[in-house]
Structure 1
Amino acid sequence: MPEARTLGEAPGPRGHWFWGSIQERRHSPLQLFLRAHQEYGDFVRLRMGPTISLLSLTGPELIKHVLVDHADKYGKPAGLVRDAWPVLGNGLFTSSGDFWKRQRRLMQPAFHRERLAALAGSMVEATQQMLAHWRARPSPSTPLDVSAEMMHLTMGIVGRALFSTDVSGTANRVGQALTVALAETNHRILSLGLYAPDFIPTPRNRVFRRALDTLDSVIFDIISRRRAGQTQGDDLLGTLMAAQDADTGERMTDAQLRDEAMTLFLAGHETTANALSWMWHLLAQHPEVEARARAEAERVLGGRAPTAQDIPQLRYLTQVFEETMRLYPPAWITARQPVKEDVLAGVQLPASPRIVVVIPAYALHRNPRLWPDPERFDPERFSPEQSAGRPRMAYLPFGGGQRLCIGNSFALMEATLITALVLQHFRLRAVPGHAVEPEPLVTLRPRGGLPMLVEPLHASA
């Protein structure tokens, strides 16, 4: 076997003599990762200042090495956990080790297929309420921010699924607080720890604290009312509260419930809403795909509302959503840190917080070796025929390995039901002259929202 290379011998751009690629990582990360992998292949080293290295992977074999085969050697980066902690606490996203395994085991029953199918009715009902609002608009020719509409819709759905509570009354307040929290978390991640500690009352920290207080007050209020018996529901919160550790008999504390609920609340509406927004944008650019998806919905449903039992027959709609998440993965980057020594792509890695292994799904999903003509929107990529033989780690919209997103089936069911309902009644069109570009924060949002023309298909739509 050839001797392992040192980190300094790994391929990658030189960048600035001192800062490396840190400015590009802050201001144009999607282009940075795309260009780096086009030039240097599936394994790239990016210097972030004089001491920190990002090792970026877009090869399925390398990704499998980190996420599956040697997952015990890689943990969540300490800086990422630190920066996300104020919002997510010790939830599934940030926790690790035995605690993470325990929480995951306690939560898994809430996501079994039968329990998810029982949520389909509330997803359909929430979507029908949104469509009624669209019909009642006084000026149908005025553009509608579809990104905001999807956020409001998925927030309502996850509120019902998680808490049996209609949070739409607090949606603007909660939505604004989440936007502030996500933007600040993103700022902290990109600052590499160089920001004022929370105890210093800078204007930025005060705004962040107010946003967190809003989110905490909403979730702790829901938990306390459930504890007091003022509310009830066969929902995810009930499952989490009833869950008991098989070994110790322990149940989750209010703080643990808050952290898991916040993680599910954020992941359960933010990511799905962004993916749906990108899907409407892509369908407006590709009317032939939209027509085929609508024809499938009409053929399968015959004008009625969809149910969970219809989803296997709505195969093309599901492929449309899967292809959308290839081009615009909401969780567009995954990060790990070597916690034990390893050799990756022939490079010797020490256990170090100054090395971060990243998997930019945005670039992975555009690797031409895996996805021919990668910028083309083609849902047929996800047909059974074209999917056969594709490496499992070539497509990671929900992460991979043991930390695969626990809510992936929830998101796919939700998106398919919403898409089928909207396509039956409305056509969404691009606003002429409006440029749509991605904003890579913690999730991949359309920058500045997504104004679209929302046209009823029928006079009584």
Structure 2
Amino acid sequence: MTEALTLAEAPGPRGHWFWGSIQERRHQPLQLFLRAHQEYGDLVRLRMGPTISLVSVASPELVKHVLVDHPDVYGKPPRLFAPAAPLLGNGLISSDGDFWKRQRRLMQPAFHRERLAGLTHLMVDSTQRMLARWRARPSSSEPLDIAAEMMRLTLGIVGRALFSTDVSGTADRVGQALGAALEGTNHRMLSLGLRAPDFLPTARNRAYRDAISILDTVVYDIIARRRAGETHGDDLLSMLMAAQDADTGERMTDQQLRDETMTLFLAGHETTANGLAWMWHLLSHHPEVEARARAEVESALQGRPPTVEDLPRLRYLTQLFEETMRLYPPAWIVGRMAKKEDVLGGVRIPASPRVIIVTSPYVVHRNPRVWPDPERFDPDRFSPERSAERPRLAYLPFGGGQRLCIGNNFALMEAPLITAAVLQHFRLRAVAGHVPEPEPSITLRPKNGLPMLVEPLQARA
């Protein structure tokens, strides 16, 4: 039996003699991970300075070992999520262990497909409001930032689904505060500790604290009024408040409700919005795919607004969104830490907070052994026949294993319904000369937005 390699013997780029690959990780992480795996194989070690190592895995088999086969060994690394604590608290994204299991068990019923189906009318209604706003523009010759439009749309949907309240308006302080909090959290997570300490009253620190304070005030007020019976709603908040531990009878505290609400705000709008923005970009450059998608919409809907009952007839739209998330997975990197020593891909992994196991769906989704011609945009990769041939962990836009994103069904209902409604009335075209660049922040967003021309179909007589 082959002796396992030590971590120091694991393959990977040498990088700078002292800093390793830390500068590339900060400035060009997608290229760093892709290049490292192309050169060194499915498992690579990347040094981040003199003491931190990233062990990146890019094959379905190694991903399965970490996320599915050994969830008791590989947990959430506190180092990665500490910068996001002011915003996310101890919500589902950042919590771990028995507390995470309890919270997941309490929240799961609120995300059953039958319950989510009752929220789909909000998705369509919010989209129709956006389309009405687009029609009211004085001219369609001026580009719109589609990344911002999708963000505003999905924020409105998740606000109504959570609280029965639309928070998407540009003048609304919740929408503004959430944007500032996300920007601040992104800066904190990417700074790798090289930032001003929280106690210093820098402009960035003050803006971040102010945004968190506004969000806390608003959310706690909504919770208090709901508990007092002053407001009512058939929404996710009411389901979370009613959730009761089967063993202890306990319900979530206000703090837990606040943390899970913030987590759902982030996961429920930022990721889907970025996926939709990239989808419109890809459609504008693949007219044959757009024509097929539009034909499916016309055949399935016959001119009426989409409903949840139409989703089985909008299968190609779902494949379109799935292929977009293969090329541009919103959650582009996943981190774990070994709680006890393990052997992974022939390398001995120590139980140390200084060794982070990472999986980048962006890289896994480009593994040529699983995805032939991986850079080609082809929604037919997700036909039922071709999907059945692939290893399960070859595709993980929502993560994998027991920590599969709780909102995956919400997104897979929301995206086709939004797409169908837009395709019925508009054509989105790329702005000549603009080449969007992926920005790997908390999510994989188009850097500096995504300007596109939004053209009403009736104008094409």
Q: Tell whether the structures are fold-level matches, with TM greater than 0.5.
A: yes
SS in 2 for 1:72: coil
Identify the residue that residue 240 of structure 2 maps to in structure 1. 240
Query: Deviations along 1:397-425, whole A, 9 cap, x unmatched?
Result: 00000000000000010001000010011
SS in 2 for 1:142: coil
Map 1:297-312; keep pairs closer than 5 Å.
Answer: 297-312=297-312
Identify the residue that residue 325 of structure 1 maps to in structure 2. 325
Identify the residue that residue 222 of structure 2 maps to in structure 1. 222
C-alpha root-mean-square deviation of aligned residues, in Å? 1.4
Shift of 1:228: 2.2
Is 2:204 the partner of 1:204?
A: yes
Equivalents in 1 of 2:47, 2:182: separation in Å? 25
Identify the residue that residue 418 of structure 1 maps to in structure 2. 418
Shift of 1:460: 11
Question: 2:426 corresponds to which letter in structure 1?
Answer: F
- TM-score normalised by L of structure 2: 0.97
Map 1:92-171; keep pairs closer than 5 Å.
Answer: 92-169=92-169
Identify the residue that residue 458 of structure 1 maps to in structure 2. 458
Question: 2:82 corresponds to which letter in structure 1?
Answer: R
Shift of 1:175: 3.8
Aligned-residue sequence identity (percent) comes to: 77
Map 1:243-282; keep pairs closer than 5 Å.
Answer: 243-282=243-282
Equivalents in 1 of 2:340, 2:68: separation in Å? 15
* Structure 2, unaligned runs of 5 or more: none
Maintained 8 Å contact 2:124/2:417: yes
Identify the residue that residue 64 of structure 1 maps to in structure 2. 64
Shift of 1:185: 2.3
SS in 1 for 2:357: strand
Identify the residue that residue 335 of structure 1 maps to in structure 2. 335
Question: 2:200 corresponds to which letter in structure 1?
Answer: I
Is 2:398 the partner of 1:398?
A: yes
Shift of 1:165: 1.1
SS in 2 for 1:312: helix
Maintained 8 Å contact 1:182/1:441: no
Judging changes above 3 Å, is the alpha-carbon distance between structure 1 residues 171 and 356 closer, same or farther for their aligned structure 2 residues?
farther
Which of 170-179 and 321-330 deviates more?
A: 170-179
Equivalents in 2 of 1:227, 1:82: separation in Å? 30
SS in 2 for 1:125: helix
Identify the residue that residue 32 of structure 2 maps to in structure 1. 32
| Count of aligned positions | 461
SS in 1 for 2:168: helix
Equivalents in 2 of 1:181, 1:90: separation in Å? 16
Which of 65-74 and 162-171 deviates more?
A: 162-171
Judging changes above 3 Å, is the alpha-carbon distance between structure 1 residues 460 and 219 closer, same or farther for their aligned structure 2 residues?
farther
Question: 2:290 corresponds to which letter in structure 1?
Answer: E
Equivalents in 1 of 2:449, 2:332: separation in Å? 18
Maintained 8 Å contact 2:152/2:169: no
Identify the residue that residue 86 of structure 2 maps to in structure 1. 86
Maintained 8 Å contact 2:190/2:441: no
Equivalents in 1 of 2:265, 2:142: separation in Å? 31
Runs of 4+ in 1 over 6 A off after TM superposition: none
Question: 1:273 corresponds to which letter in structure 2?
Answer: A
Query: Deviations along 1:186-207, whole A, 9 cap, x unmatched?
Result: 3322333343332332332112
Shift of 1:90: 0.5
Equivalents in 2 of 1:385, 1:460: separation in Å? 37
Which of 348-357 and 192-201 deviates more?
A: 192-201
Judging changes above 3 Å, is the alpha-carbon distance between structure 1 residues 239 and 442 closer, same or farther for their aligned structure 2 residues?
same
Query: Deviations along 1:278-305, whole A, 9 cap, x unmatched?
Result: 0000000101100100000000110111
Question: 2:104 corresponds to which letter in structure 1?
Answer: R
Equivalents in 2 of 1:2, 1:37: separation in Å? 22
Maintained 8 Å contact 1:361/1:395: yes
Shift of 1:230: 2.1
Maintained 8 Å contact 1:53/1:355: yes
Judging changes above 3 Å, is the alpha-carbon distance between structure 1 residues 171 and 295 closer, same or farther for their aligned structure 2 residues?
farther
Which of 40-49 and 165-174 deviates more?
A: 165-174
